[in-house]
């Protein structure tokens, strides 16, 4: 299988009053077509910045980004975000409050002919299991259902690549894990390629074919979930994997305790 997404030695920085703040330096990553990749790392390590660069919202200081074999970003070249065929679902997935579920899903399809648009919306409603709520407004459905609408909206224009930034962060631990499995099923069924960002390890392991553990703006190991557990490349990865597993266990035990009260 060929690689759909290639980040080749990319560097990213923000301009601040004190001068440029380097966030990512010389980072490499390849994601195979049909795979779900996940960047896992502590707050502030540069995950969102990388997704924004892939989507076309941050300029590259060095390196290049290729999608389907064509260069979409380089220091002297940047394809416009809307011409990249990249779908996004960000942390604050904010649905349009004045549009119904189906209105939200159809939002990116305004230029499509009506019959094609209606068929696409119907197929997506079925895919995410929301046929019965199609005419409700965002405030009339649950958080998990809202997240599924946001996913359907991002998938609607048939992007080549889907970027998901902490898509389940507003949900409780049990819902987020269930939804992570559901989203994996949906993406696998449709053969989508996706890059997901999280700092929740359980979520990463539930959904990803490849996980990149990040530390200070670089990827320490890009590997299968199995390999991360059984053959961590560095003591940092080993510690990170162990510590996060313990935290997830504690969070679940804590929530069960609250539910029992």
Ligand X SMILES: Nc1ncnc2c1ncn2[C@@H]1O[C@H](COP(=O)(O)OP(=O)(O)OP(=O)(O)O)[C@@H](O)[C@H]1O
> Which residues contact ligand X (rule: CB under 6 A)?
14, 16, 21, 23, 41, 43-49, 199
48 binds Mg ion (CB under 5 A): yes
**Shortest distance in whole angstroms from residue 195 CB to ligand X:** 13
| Cα end-to-end distance, the chain, whole Å | 51
130 or 214: CB nearest Mg ion: 214
> Would you call 259 helix, strand, or coil by DSSP?
helix
200 binds Mg ion (CB under 5 A): no
Rounded Cα distance, 232 and 218, in Å:
16
Phi, psi of 61 (to 5 degrees): -85, -30
**Shortest distance in whole angstroms from residue 31 CB to ligand X:** 18
57 or 96: CB nearest ligand X: 57
Number of chain residues interacting with Mg ion (CB under 5 A)? 1
99 or 220: CB nearest ligand X: 220
21 or 119: CB nearest ligand X: 21
198 binds Mg ion (CB under 5 A): no
Structure tokens at 60: 């590259």
**Shortest distance in whole angstroms from residue 89 CB to Mg ion:** 13
46 or 108: CB nearest ligand X: 46
76 binds, among Mg ion, ligand X, none (CB under 5 to 8 A by kind): none
- Residue 26 in contact with residue 9, Cβ under 8 Å? yes
**Shortest distance in whole angstroms from residue 119 CB to ligand X:** 36
**Shortest distance in whole angstroms from residue 68 CB to ligand X:** 25
- Residue 96 in contact with residue 88, Cβ under 8 Å? no
Q: Segment contacting Mg ion (CB under 5 A): 42-50, 65-73, 132-140, 174-182?
A: 42-50
What is the CA 228 to chain-centroid distance, rounded?
Answer: 20
44 or 75: CB nearest ligand X: 44
CA distances from 94 to 91, 112, 141, 239 (A): 8, 23, 13, 35
Q: 99-132: buried (b, 16+ CB within 10 Å) or exposed (e) per residue?
A: bbbbbbbbebbeebeeeebeebbeebbebbebee
**Shortest distance in whole angstroms from residue 217 CB to ligand X:** 8
Helix (H) or strand (E) holding 212: strand 210-215
108 binds, among Mg ion, ligand X, none (CB under 5 to 8 A by kind): none
44 or 129: CB nearest ligand X: 44
What is the CA 96 to chain-centroid distance, rounded?
Answer: 20
What is the signed CA dihedral for 95, 57, 2, 124, rounded to 10 degrees? 10
Rounded Cα distance, 234 and 152, in Å:
38
199 binds, among ligand X, Mg ion, none (CB under 5 to 8 A by kind): ligand X
100 binds, among ligand X, Mg ion, none (CB under 5 to 8 A by kind): none
Binding site for Mg ion (CB under 5 A): 48
């Amino acid at each position: 299988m060929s690689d759909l997404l290639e980040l080749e030695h990319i560097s990213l920085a923000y301009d601040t009053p004190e001068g440029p703040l380097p966030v990512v330096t010389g980072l490499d990553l390849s994601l195979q077509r049909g795979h779900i990749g996940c960047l896992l790392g502590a707050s502030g390590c540069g995950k969102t910045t990388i997704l924004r660069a892939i989507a076309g919202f941050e300029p590259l200081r060095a390196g290049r980004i290729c999608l389907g074999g064509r260069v979409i970003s380089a220091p002297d070249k940047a394809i416009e975000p809307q011409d990249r065929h990249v779908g996004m679902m960000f942390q604050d997935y904010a649905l349009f409050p004045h549009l119904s579920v189906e209105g939200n899903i159809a939002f990116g399809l305004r230029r499509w002919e009506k019959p094609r648009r209606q068929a696409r919306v119907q197929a997506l409603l079925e895919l995410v299991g929301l046929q019965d709520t199609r005419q409700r407004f965002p405030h009339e459905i649950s958080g998990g259902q809202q997240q599924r609408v946001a996913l359907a909206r991002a998938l609607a224009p048939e992007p080549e690549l889907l970027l998901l930034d902490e898509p389940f962060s507003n949900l409780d631990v049990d819902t987020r894990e269930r939804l992570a499995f559901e989203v994996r099923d949906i993406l696998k069924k449709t053969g989508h390629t996706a890059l997901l960002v999280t700092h929740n390890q359980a979520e990463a392991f539930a959904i990803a074919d490849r996980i990149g553990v990040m530390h200070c703006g670089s990827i320490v190991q890009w590997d299968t979930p199995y390999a991360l557990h059984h053959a961590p490349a560095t003591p940092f990865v080993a510690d990170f994997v162990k510590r996060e597993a313990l935290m997830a266990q504690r969070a679940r035990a804590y929530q069960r305790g609250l539910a029992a009260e």
